Amino acid sequence: MSIVELNQENFQGAVEQMDQPLIIDFWAPWCGPCRNFAPVFEALASQHPDVTFAKVNTEEQQELATALRIRSIPTLMVFRENVLLFSQAGALSASQLEELLTQVKAVDMEQVHAEIASQDSEAPQGNSQG
């Protein structure tokens, strides 16, 4: 499977897709650890057609990187059904990335959505006293 290039225009649509997990590598051309991680990311992309692999070039997409509070690169983010499940700076080894994908695929998203809904309903809605 090919790796999708994300930018400010197509990022939200990619995150909102409901059919499969999305793993994003935030990188820059001048970043040595990013260049070392790229072959690992690409190899796993070809082994997991049920996951969307994407990259964001933080040099070209500075506004997007700032909005997502990307402070160091590489940074990986994993979304599933419009929910951020994982965010971490630093490159992973092939085995660590494989384990992460296994865990993400195993997440019970029905339960996650129920927990989010529960938290939203318990959140204070402002002071109702007059």
Q: Write out pLDDT tens, residues 72-106.
A: 999 999 999 999 999 999 999 999 999 999 999 99
Range ranked top by mean pLDDT from 15-19, 23-27, 80-84, 88-92: 23-27
pTM: predicted TM-score of the whole model, two decimal places? 0.88
Contacts 24+ apart (CB under 8 A), 34-39: 34/73, 34/74, 34/91, 36/91, 37/74, 37/91, 37/92
H-helix or E-strand containing 120?
helix 109-122
Q: Which CATH architecture fits 4-118?
A: 3-Layer(aba) Sandwich (3.40)
| Residues annotated as part of the active site | 31, 34
Q: Measuring CA to CA, how many Å separate 66 from each of 10, 17, 41, 58, 60?
A: 16, 22, 23, 9, 12
Q: Where along the chain do its domains lie?
A: 4-118
